[in-house]
Amino acid sequence: MEATGTDEVEKLKSKFMSAWHNMKYSWVLKTKTYFSRNSAVFLLGKCYHFKSDEPSELSPDGSCLDIVDKVISGNVEEFRKDFISRIWLTYREDFPQIKESALTTDCGWGCTLRTGQMLLAQGLVLHFLGRAWTWPGALNIENSDSESWTSHTVKKLTASFEASLTGERELKVLSNDHKEALKRDCDDSEMRDEVYHRKIISWFGDSPPASFGLHQLIEYGKKSGKTAGDWYGPAVVAHILRKAVEEARDPELQGITIYVAQDCTVYSLDVVDRQCSSMGSEKADMKAVIILVPVRLGGERTNMNYLEFVKGILSLEYCVGVIGGKPKQSYYFAGFQDDSLIYMDPHYCQSFVDVSIKDFPLESFHCPSPKKMSFKNMDPSCTIGFYCRNMQDFERISEEITKMLKSSSKEKYPLFTFVKGHSRDYDFASSPLHEENDLFSEEEKKRLKRFSTEEFVLL
């Protein structure tokens, strides 16, 4: 009886905390975000312009367009579809209990892990789907709350009917064989994309089996002295993501790896070693690699001299985003306009979704509302990510970014560097290898501990 009473208290406490977190965090999605009509918008290497001769909704000063609530001609719709297609990972509640803790939610502490998940998810999207991929259901996501199931169904039936009429007219022009071939190619491509879309999201599910789910990331974090409920800085998250990818057993994930820069230095031969590592089944092949570079953009405050470099990074298609935020709030930065960064916010508490079931709902994994913040408000601690499909990609990327670093650096030393050779050639510890009884080497543990104490706390 006493146990039952305790369970009831815990349930009430959980409901109260859920209500509090929703009140505390959910309002950010309901606020409008305004974008200038006169400046280009960059989203992970894609450029959009919102200029139009059509009437539009303006901000109080008459200069800005609210792209969240109003779609006009130009590239607004394309931008919205691209942004919403990015995978959004947020606080969740009522998921399976985290091992060795009583936690069934990460509200209030897990947001930097979530931003790390979003960066890795974008890397996997580039790897399996490509940068041009967008989710076909992206522009319908905002209608899910405002429209009834019936009206949505009617629209689908109407579209299906119109498509069938179009198909009948095409019969007069195309042969049956030609039409079927085109339809089959289109269907096969869409089906493949849908399979990978769902598979990528399932790898981030909030349950112990998910390769990059919160439960697994926390297990790897324990090796660096972190536990569930602790705050994780962007550099520590970078190393946790690397271990998670190394330990992933799904055959689909054997063709990708992660390299984390040491002391703001990317060692080219260490990257090549990771790209040329065995892919299992006695098959050696070239792996794609996600390069993560933990950096500081200043001392206690972000140095505005780094603004142009960060903008340059986010304008590259092989950039997979930035794990960062502002003091005490972690965000996933994916683009910019003028001197403002565009981000996805993990501080939104949503219910647990069982991604192991067939056709699980996708809507809560895609953000309908882009947000902006001034670069000067950014916390200096962050981790930058790039995706390289092969060695040729890495060579090209290292050259392009090196030029960018030199042109943007107003000081003697750039933010980070690419150097030839292995890290051990410069008297640093070599990239840690897998150890049977311990996921992190002693040298790596020391480095992670240093990151943990030097970084500003990001909620």
Give the model's pLDDT for residue 317.
93
Over residues 307-312, the mean pLDDT reads 94
Q: What share of the chain has pLDDT > 90, as a percent?
A: 56
22 pLDDT band, cuts 50/70/90, is: low
Lowest mean pLDDT among 95-99, 133-137, 345-349, 443-447: 443-447
264 belongs to the catalytic site: no
d(CA 15, CA 22): 11
Lowest mean pLDDT among 4-13, 40-49, 192-201: 4-13
Nearest to 116 by CA among 243, 270, 249, 256: 243
Helix axes 442-454, 234-247, angle to 10 degrees: 150
Q: Is residue 390 part of a domain?
A: yes
Over residues 340-356, the mean pLDDT reads 95
Residue 184, pLDDT > 70, answer no
Lowest mean pLDDT among 46-60, 93-107, 186-200, 434-448: 434-448
Residue 322, pLDDT > 50, answer yes
Helix axes 176-202, 111-128, angle to 10 degrees: 150
Over residues 277-306, the mean pLDDT reads 82
Q: Is residue 147 part of a domain?
A: no
- Pick the catalytic residue from 347, 366, 367, 388: 347
345 belongs to the catalytic site: yes
Lowest mean pLDDT among 1-5, 143-147, 376-380: 143-147
Residue 290, pLDDT > 90, answer yes
Over residues 223-237, the mean pLDDT reads 90
Q: Is residue 185 part of a domain?
A: no
176 pLDDT band, cuts 50/70/90, is: low
Residue 371, pLDDT > 90, answer yes
Q: What are the CA-CA distances from residue 446 to residues 122, 320, 419, 441, 442 (Å)?
A: 29, 27, 23, 9, 6
Cα 331 off chain centre by: 10
Lowest mean pLDDT among 242-256, 301-315, 373-387, 405-419: 405-419
Residue 345, pLDDT > 90, answer yes
Lowest mean pLDDT among 15-24, 307-316, 432-441: 432-441
Give the model's pLDDT for residue 37.
87
Residue 432, pLDDT > 50, answer no
Better-predicted residue by pLDDT, 432 or 446: 446
Number of domains into which the chain is organized: 1
Per-residue pLDDT reduced to its tens digit, 116-126: 999 999 999 99
Q: Is residue 183 part of a domain?
A: no
Q: Is residue 435 part of a domain?
A: no
Residue 239, pLDDT > 60, answer yes
- Pick the catalytic residue from 21, 106, 107, 111: 111
Q: Is residue 87 part of a domain?
A: yes
Cα 215 off chain centre by: 18
Nearest to 362 by CA among 205, 250, 207: 205
Q: CB–CB of 376/222 below 8 Å?
A: no
Q: Is residue 133 part of a domain?
A: yes
Q: Which domain holds residue 396?
A: 37-51+68-141+190-426
Q: Is residue 403 part of a domain?
A: yes
Cβ neighbours for 209, distance < 8 A, ≥ 6 positions apart: 356
7 belongs to the catalytic site: no
- Pick the catalytic residue from 82, 106, 270, 345: 345
